[in-house]
Amino acid sequence: MIKSPIFQPNQFHNTMSDANRLTRNIRVFYVHRALVGLANFWAPVIVLFQMQALGLSLTEVLLGESVFAATILLFEVPSGVLADRLGRKRTLIAGAVFMASGIIVFALAQSFTHVLMTQALCGIGMAFQSGADSALLFDSLKLLGREKEFRKVLGQTQTVTYLIAIPITMSSGLISDWFGLRFAVTLTAAISCLYLVNFLFLTEPPEQSEGRRPGKTMLWHTWKALRYIWKHRLVRLTVAFSMALAVGMKLSFHTLNPYWELWEVPVAYFGFAFAGYNLMAATSAQLAYRVTNKLGDAGTLMAVLLVVCGAFGLMALLPVGMLGALLLPVVFQIPRTILPIATGDMINRVTFSHHRATVLSMKSFLGQTSQLLLLPVFGVIADASGLLSAYGWTAGWIFLLGGLALYRLASIPAGYTHGHYSRHLQPEETSGAEVEGVGEDIPDAAATMTSETDLPQQTPAAPEADLPDETPGGEKG
């Protein structure tokens, strides 16, 4: 049966027109991901540009990455709160301005100070876009009665990014060879300016009344979102699992250059290697919707954990040679695409709209925190014992921490619907309790670790007066 869009009568005067504008949001999201793919000219040579064109040491390059992570830490949660309070469109536009400014500074950079400025500006831009983009997409789909398509749409948009990035990264090495490393960065800066133009076509989805508390401060909003994460068992453990895997995903990209250097891979091959990785990522993103539906939440996360730990273990133990050094990192492209789709959907399904962006930003914030704390540890181990030894240690502690979080996730009882969950969260039924569901750690509130046949049939319901057309939700798209 085809579902009708969910519109609140007091907020919509022309249902068809508003449905068209919300549908346009989805198209804007696709265009944005296409632009992200186009802006990959700098990806294969970003480290080389800093070391060769600017004369930086590897230590300075990694210090710049630390500034990037620290900036995201500072702005991640406040930007999520701003997205929930002031609107996702405004936050995305602000993020696009910061991101484009940072890349322009990078294209004109002459010193380490300019690199630090770039990392700070891009960190702010990334923080403003993180959480707000997927929250706006999910809310638009939900109001259209299509929230079950979230994983499918997110996977398709990532596929667009990676497919477009394939010829871009393949040509990056040649462009850098012909015109210089700085020209590749300049092309990226020019394309990043189009982010802002694209976001101007967004329509802010109307606010929903899912437990909203008007007039509260930003600190209150942040605290309630953090407390929601801690008290909600499924959200808490999903975030913990993401934190364990975040460092591995970061290392799988930023240690490629020294790994290739170890196995004497020519620089000319870098662009072709990145093109192959993007092809694998595109395929993985396109299949993510079917894979996650087939495996269920717990099965998907287990597969991600085994792939990441297995790949790091093989890199640590096997004398792969030049060809193996190029081929083995392909494996990381599977969790690179599936992990954010799966964990983002798991959190979106059980999080109310009024603090969805804040909760997602908090997830990213905690992931950046784990990177900030553990990346230096990796560097110390790599300097003391070698890069391959550090890969072995990484596989071990990711398996330990991620496995523990996954074990606890798998123990959450299945069969509880979001409708059952929402009964604990209705403002009129809480008798003074906080509507965000931050009371007792009720097993019902742990939305299921689903398989395709155990999909929840209801979304968290707002009061009937505010949301008259309750539709099925929580199903995997």
pLDDT-based confidence at 305, cuts 50/70/90? very high
CA 136 to chain centre: 14
**Lowest-confidence range among 8-22, 289-303, 312-326?**
8-22
| Average pLDDT of the chain to the nearest whole number | 76
Instruction: Write down the pLDDT at residue 456.
Output: 38
Q: Does 400 have pLDDT greater than 90?
A: yes
Instruction: Write down the pLDDT at residue 15.
Output: 55
Other Cβ atoms closer than 10 A to 444: 15
CATH of domain 15-201+217-454: 1.20.1250.20
Return the SS3 of 429.
Answer: helix
Q: Does 463 have pLDDT greater than 90?
A: no
Residue count of the chain: 477
Please answer whether residues 477 and 149 qualify as being in contact, where contact means their C-beta atoms are separated by less than 8 angstroms: yes
DSSP code for 124: H
More confident residue, 68 or 463: 68
Q: Does 430 have pLDDT greater than 60?
A: no
pLDDT digits (tens, 9 = 90+) for 141-199: 888 888 788 878 888 888 888 888 888 888 887 788 788 889 989 999 999 999 999 99
pLDDT digits (tens, 9 = 90+) for 74-121: 887 788 777 777 788 889 999 999 999 999 999 999 999 999 999 999
* First and final C-alpha spacing in the chain: 15
pLDDT digits (tens, 9 = 90+) for 122-145: 999 988 887 778 888 888 888 888
Which one, of 129, 130, 128, 146, lies nearest residue 138 by Cα?
Answer: 146
Which one, of 195, 198, 164, 159, lies nearest residue 43 by Cα?
Answer: 164
Q: Does 333 have pLDDT greater than 90?
A: no
Instruction: Write down the pLDDT at residue 58.
Output: 67
Q: Does 359 have pLDDT greater than 70?
A: yes
Please answer whether residues 394 and 312 qualify as being in contact, where contact means their C-beta atoms are separated by less than 8 angstroms: yes
**Residue 110, both tokens:** 């002459």
Q: Does 2 have pLDDT greater than 50?
A: no
Please answer whether residues 171 and 429 qualify as being in contact, where contact means their C-beta atoms are separated by less than 8 angstroms: no
pLDDT digits (tens, 9 = 90+) for 227-276: 888 888 888 888 889 888 888 888 887 788 778 888 888 777 777 888 88
Quote the CA–CA distance of 370 and 356 in Å, as a whole number. 22
Q: Does 457 have pLDDT greater than 50?
A: no
Alpha-helix residue ranges (DSSP H) falling in 180-269: 181-199, 218-231, 233-254, 256-262
Quote the CA–CA distance of 464 and 470 in Å, as a whole number. 8
Other Cβ atoms closer than 10 A to 183: 14
Instruction: Write down the pLDDT at residue 53.
Output: 86
Residues 6+ apart with CB under 8 A from 25: 136, 137, 140, 202, 203, 205
pTM of structure: 0.64
Instruction: Write down the pLDDT at residue 247.
Output: 83
Quote the CA–CA distance of 472 and 361 in Å, as a whole number. 26
pLDDT-based confidence at 438, cuts 50/70/90? very low
